[in-house]
Structure 1
């Protein structure tokens, strides 16, 4: 059935910003700043506001808490909150989040957002949420936005005239289930990546102690004493000959992982020769200095250049690069509290150069560092595998999302089937020839991520033997697995 979005929504509720007033009881207000890109809400950075009204009593104007407005506008479970003002060139308005109350508190949304409450007699709220995600991901939301006074606004009433297809409830549930399975895998993969990072941190602390108070009394040196420290530079943007070359040129916002390989912008050799840009040797530690990027860090695995918001340190001995990197990273919060500046909180090159780093040179300590270096590299190899899997899962989610509402894109599950099979039941497998073929290839090509994945798939394989879906044939000493 095709219908307009407006017909699937029982209520639209505008937001309230209220007042900053601690003399009254407050409610929690969700802003677009609390929207995560995966459609969840960040409940860690909320604001509280007083929702007030004026009342005249005995000829005097008094302020009172507007309990009626709070009750009428509070967000309830399964509400969808849409961003209707804000956005930017690379982030159009129309982002949405799905609300589940994490406790017993009262939540409102602000006046830059709006509540869309699904009519549950016509549509599953989660199916509506995914449908709206589809409209956003495919940029169909762009035709309903305009710009005034620097803000991009979504014309909500026009947007709700968009026509969508609404299948039967059992079909809606199948779409929801499939997308939730993939989302759960994405969430678990992100947790695994986070745990890898935490493991390296914990190993550092176990081996070397807190880098600030140095409880094991390792020898220390200033960063400027163990390597060459310089800041980068930005070639003039007025000279087109300086840009679109083949030399990586990093900004501090790109320092997001242990290693970096390729920048968003590239500069030319002429920019290096005629501006304040410099070539940075491989295995230098790049450190952000300014504002929100202060103390973001990466190690470059290719020769590159960077802007002036980055200080890079090329150590005299690369043997110490991981120890130095994690000494700085684990000291991040301590040094960020020492930033100066009224509007922007910045570090400066002199301050960073004078930071003292654990730098032991005795044989016993070097053996410890050798062990730590091995841990870092092994864990990063595992992290890369997980990051690749995460990327494939996110691509699959987008593919399934678009396929569910457009029927134009074929879903390719092969690249992450080792993850998917953990969530599949036998019924999800036995009548699906393509999935059975993927399962066969997992065993014949030994593509499992770990022993747990192998054991899980093996159990399902044995069940499929019982269902007479697979058969084994013998070719000499070789056992072949075949889908019937």
Structure 2
């Protein structure tokens, strides 16, 4: 790509330290955390290209924040990225700009912030788009020996080169990409609205499943469903792994999707013999996760899959998977409340079996399932449209950073 830069039009390749100030967060220790004060930023707060602080409860005291760590306090407009434990293909999701409502906020480990040294030379929003390019990702991956996990720091960033058009061109690139991104964001909002519609319909028909204001009969999950805990076939036996059946892990179950994402690993037929699987129209629920907030995430298996020990499979006896799926979504806090973090924070098959859920008449469950499938069909169309918008965005990115006209 360097060879394609049109220097006659003012394009150049510059070293990153000549364009931006960057700073890695300090290693604040667990014993420094407090219940109030100044919030600490962490990798989990960087999601889908934005900064979200409602999913963190980590603070340090104001005394430490404005004393020992005062030079790590975030400023409005800072570009913040995750720098550790992030998969290359998801790197562009793990960044965001600090806004006024986020402050005060203190940097923490595995995060890096950027400021432009001269706004007349580099637009910080252009720089954010540059960090999402394959050109940057390839550079950083090469510097950290090509690992699938990005773990880098200032020493690596000092070696990065930046494609630098004239400032007017940078602003034009930002304008075009912002418009394309706005269309993507609107489509995502429409998809989220459909999820809320399904949730509202469930509440309208059945009420809050935990509070049970309509006094539906409650029964233990094991009395109505078959529960299966996954496992991992021995890694020492190569013939257990192949291309016969998808092997699902907890990262294939997210709170933003109805169905399982595609697995990255597969088991062979022999692997399946010693593994665990569920039939189509079952539900998979995370039972072990890095954070208790991720336990109880559910997704529908719309095909037969195998899965690991971080997941419990739930096969509904009446096959009314859509009613149970939405009930689990609305009951996640209730599910999490039963977990004893002193016992490694695991939702065991035994614990899940004993949990009670509502079971209204099957006719009403079926009525809700019909509504769910109608909305799900529309959601699928929206998701296909979203894919087209994202493909268009990626095409514009390619043109922008090759110096091609839009």
TM-score, normalisation: structure 2 = 0.80
- Paired position in structure 1 for 2:7: none
Structure 2 residue 46 is the aligned partner of structure 1 residue 35: yes
1:240 to 1:43, Cα distance in 2 relative to 1, 3 A? same
**134 and 195 in structure 1: CA distance in 2 versus 1, 3 angstrom threshold:** same
Residue 186 of structure 1: CA displacement?
A: 1.9
User: Residue 308 of structure 2 aligns with which residue?
Assistant: 307
Residues in 2 aligned to 1:289 and 1:181: alpha-carbon distance in whole angstroms: 40
For 1:44-193, list aligned pairs within 5 A. 44=54, 45=56, 47-50=58-61, 66=67, 70=70, 74-83=73-82, 86-87=84-85, 90=88, 97-103=95-101, 105-110=103-108, 112-118=110-116, 119-134=118-133, 138-145=137-144, 152-156=151-155, 159-160=157-158, 162-193=160-191
Q: Is the 8 A contact 1:146 1:152 kept in 2?
A: no
Q: CA deviation at 1:200?
A: 0.9
Whole-Å separation in 2 of the counterparts to 1:290 and 1:21: 26
1:77 and 1:279, CA in 2 relative to 1: closer, same or farther beyond 3 A?
A: closer
Q: Residue 204 of structure 1: CA displacement?
A: 0.6
State how far apart, in whole Å, the 2-side matches of 1:65 and 1:183 are.
36
Change (3 A) 1:33 1:374: closer
Question: Quick check: 1:144–1:159 contact (8 Å CA) kept in 2?
Answer: no
Larger Rg: 1
Deviation at 1:122, TM superposition (A): 1.6
Deviation at 1:78, TM superposition (A): 3.4
- Supply the distance in 2 between the matched residues of 1:210 and 1:222 (Cα, whole angstroms): 17
Superimposed CA distance per residue, residues 7-43 of structure 1 (whole angstroms, 9 cap, x where no aligned partner): 75364456456787799x95444344433352x2223
Q: What is the alpha-carbon distance in structure 1 between the residues aligned to residue 373 and residue 61 of structure 2? A: 51
Q: CA deviation at 1:322?
A: 2.0
Structure-to-structure mapping, 1:247-326, within 5 angstroms: 247-256=245-254, 257-260=257-260, 262-273=262-273, 275=274, 277-291=275-289, 292=291, 293-318=294-319, 320-326=320-326
- Cross-structure match for 1:340: 340
Matched, 1:353 2:353: yes
Alpha-carbon distance, 1:161 to partner: 5.4
Pairing partner for 2:19 from 9, 13, 27:
9
**Alignment partner, residue 396 of structure 1:** 392
Tell me the CA shift for residue 202 of structure 1: 1.1
Task: Specify whether residues 354 and 382 from structure 1 end up closer, same or farther in structure 2 by C-alpha distance, changes over 3 A only.
Answer: same
- Is the contact made by 1:17 and 1:49 (CA closer than 8 Å) also made in structure 2? no
CA distance 1:18–1:246, shift in 2 (3 Å): closer
Give the drift of 1:174.
1.4
TM-score by length of 1: 0.68
The secondary structure found in structure 1 opposite 2:169 is helix
* Aligned-partner Cα distance in 1 for 2:371–2:272: 36
Q: Cα 1:153–1:162, aligned 2, differ >3 Å: closer, same or farther?
A: closer
User: Within 1, Cα distance between the matches of 2:17 and 2:250?
Assistant: 47
- Give the Cα–Cα distance (whole angstroms) in 1 for the partners of residues 353 and 211 of structure 2: 18
Query: Post-superposition shift, 1:6?
Result: 4.6
Q: Deviations over 1:406-445 (max 9, x none)?
A: 247x98xxxxxxxxxxxxxxxxxxxxxxxxxxxxxxxxxx
Q: CA RMSD in A?
A: 3.6
2:228 counterpart SS class: strand
* C-alpha displacement of 1:261: 7.2
Q: CA deviation at 1:132?
A: 3.1
> 1:89, CA displacement in angstroms?
6.3
Return the alpha-carbon distance in structure 1 between the equivalents of residues 91 and 303 of structure 2: 37
- Classify 1:353/1:31 alpha carbon distance in 2 versus 1 (closer, same or farther; 3 Å): closer
> Partners of 2:224 and 2:201 in 1: how far apart?
23
C-alpha separation in 2, matches of 1:169 and 1:210? 54
* SS of equivalent residue, structure 1 residue 260: coil
Report the alpha carbon displacement of residue 339 of structure 1 after superposing the two structures with TM: 0.5
Shift in alpha-carbon separation, 1:94–1:191, aligned structure 2, 3 A = closer
User: 2-side partners of 1:104 and 1:138: how far apart?
Assistant: 28
Where relative contact order (Cα < 8 A, 6+ residues apart) is larger, the structure is: 2
The one-character-per-residue Cα deviations of 1:94-134 (angstroms, maximum 9, x if unpaired) are 99745342338444433654443211122222122222332
Q: Is the 8 A contact 1:252 1:309 kept in 2?
A: yes
Q: Check conservation: 1:145, 1:153, Cα contact below 8 A.
A: yes
Give the unaligned 5+ runs of structure 2.
Answer: 1-9
Could you list the per-position Cα deviations for residues 362-390 of structure 1 after superposition, in whole angstroms to 9, with x for gaps in the alignment? xxx61x33321111001111111222222
Partner in structure 2 of residue 59 of structure 1: none
Count matched residues.
385
Distance 2:129 2:307 in 1: 40
What is the SS of the residue equivalent to 1:237? coil
Gap regions ≥5 residues in structure 1: 54-63, 412-484
